[in-house]
Amino acid sequence: MRVLFAGGGTAGHINPAISIADYTAKQEKEFAAVFVGTKDGMETKLVPKAGYSLKLIDIEGFNRKNMLKNISVLAKLVRARSECKKIIRSFKPDCIVCTGGYVSGPVAMAAKKMGIPALIHEQNVYPGLTVRGSEKYVDYLALSFEETVNHMKHKEKCVVTGNPIRQEILNADYEKSREKLGITKPFVLVFGGSLGADRINRAVIDIIERIIEDGRISLLFGTGDRNYDAVMKTIAEKNITLNDDVKIVSYIDNMAECMAAADLVVSRAGAITVSEIAALGKPSILIPSPNVVRNHQEQNAREFENNGAAAVILESELTADTLYDKIMTSVTNAEVLKGMSEKLGKLAKTDALEKIYELMVKMSE
């Protein structure tokens, strides 16, 4: 099977595509994949690392605040569609899988024009602009939530699959991961997404000294690539001396091990993140980003909170004191952690890869 993948921008769009590719490679003796992305997205780092070929196109998202800028965006879209046709013509895929981000739009359009079957996957409850704009060009709309069907025009194309969970996440082991990472204390994993989150970063900086002085927990803090230098500069300015209990990195490359080893996860509430948290049964403190379409991260977080499976702190309510108190009262209370973990079971969907692969097989026949 030859598959062209399109997904770019953040790890939340790219990792699902990589997961699908890795799963398909295990099912197909003769498997080939090419990814399409842009030079500015996380795909330039993640796709080559995963061992796949990456083709770059020049495309950007529509500007909702300044409509005049969209004239140049439309011109880029026309050129990008032409570039995608060339990639398709050269690679000759059996099918195409789009996982979101504005790079998926021209790929889906080119697929329709050239008669190549395609699907697009929507991670969140409310579909994004790219998915809504692409649904007429694809054969299937792979959705993560039943409710999303109500927001789509082409309901006959909808298949509820859930979000793809990386095999290394599903197979990760708590004890083995802690042993490999050298963790002996209750372990808190904090990250704001692949690009980082300023408000979360500032709050974490302000509690690091208290965590070190308290000495009861270990903390791994992923700042995001673009924020790492600023975070380390602020820590130096505050004369904070780090020790073995607190580790700070720009990007967490071994997320499967780190999440498996964690007793508590503090993160945004992106669809892939909460799906992985549910699959691993990890208690969490979710801080949804307010800067997303239709506030979908808060919808994700509230679903977990309403089921007793997570605590939620809105960014408008986030302070160092609030975060510290919530972390310490959660991670040091075994009953609270156990209760959250048990309630995550009914929210977990772990067979999305199989369902999406079945659609790919149908398209390739």
CATH code assigned at 95: 3.40.50.2000
Nearest to 289 by CA among 301, 304, 275: 301
Q: Are residues 129 and 85 in the same domain?
A: yes
Domain range for residue 205? 168-347
Helix (H, G, I), strand (E, B) or coil at 359: helix
- Reading the chain (365 residues) residue by residue, the pLDDT tens digits are 999 999 888 878 898 999 999 999 999 999 999 999 999 888 999 999 999 999 999 876 655 565 556 666 677 788 989 999 999 999 999 999 999 888 999 999 999 999 999 999 998 888 888 899 999 999 999 998 888 899 999 999 999 999 998 888 989 999 999 999 999 999 999 998 655 689 999 999 999 999 999 999 999 999 988 899 999 999 999 999 999 999 999 989 899 999 999 999 999 998 889 999 999 999 999 999 988 767 889 988 998 999 999 999 999 999 999 999 999 999 999 999 999 999 998 888 889 999 999 999 999 99
Residues 33 and 159 in one domain: yes
Distance CA 156, CA 352 (A): 19
Q: Are 289 and 269 contacting, i.e. CB atoms less than 8 angstroms apart? A: yes
**Residue 8 and residue 157 in one domain:** yes
Write the CB contacts of 346 (distance below 8 Å, at least 6 apart in sequence). 307
SS3 content of the chain, % helix, strand, coil (to 5): 50, 15, 35
Looking at residue 254, its amino acid is N
pTM of the predicted model as reported, rounded to 2 decimal places: 0.79
3-class DSSP state of 38:
coil
Q: 10 Å Cβ neighbour count for 242? A: 14
Q: In this structure, are 224 and 129 located in the same domain? A: no
* In contact, 94 and 3? CB cutoff 8 Å: yes
| Residue corresponding to tokens 């996957």 | 121
- The residue type at 147: E
Burial level of 102, CB count in 10 A (0-12/13-18/19+)? buried
Q: What's at 47, amino acid-wise?
A: V
289-326: b or e for each residue (b if 16 or more CB lie within 10 Å)?
A: beebeeebbbbbbbbbbeeebbbbbebeebeeeebbeb
Angle at 153 between CA 155 and CA 147, to 5 degrees: 60
**DSSP string for 246-273:** EEEESS-TTHHHHHHH-SEEEE---HHH
What pLDDT is stored for residue 68 in this prediction? 53
Number of structural domains found in the chain: 2
Residues 141 and 46 in one domain: yes
Examine the domain organization and report whether 214 and 267 are in the same domain.
Answer: yes
pLDDT of 72 reads 65
Both tokens assigned to 98: 């789009």
Q: Which two tokens stand for residue 179?
A: 């042993």
Sequence length of the chain is: 365
Are 243 and 158 in the same domain?
no
Tokens 């969140």, located at residue = 124
pLDDT attached to residue 195 = 57
Answer yes or no: do 193 and 136 share one domain. no
Tell me if 287 sits within 8 A of 207, measured CB to CB: no
Note the pLDDT of residue 58. 83
Q: Cα 171–176–180 angle (5° rounding)?
A: 115
Give 55's strand partners.
36
Judge contact between 319 and 180, C-beta under 8 A. Answer: no
Q: Domain check: are 219 and 139 in the same one?
A: no
Check residue 87 and give its pLDDT.
Answer: 97
Q: What is the DSSP letter of 155?
A: G
118 and 78 inside one domain: yes
Task: State whether 88 and 151 are in the same domain.
Answer: yes
Q: Is 111 exposed, middle or buried (0-12, 13-18, 19+ CB in 10 A)?
A: buried
Burial of 71 (0-12, 13-18, 19+ CB in 10 A): exposed
- Whether the Cβ atoms of residue 108 and residue 131 lie closer than 8 Å to each other: no
161 with 69, same domain: the answer is yes
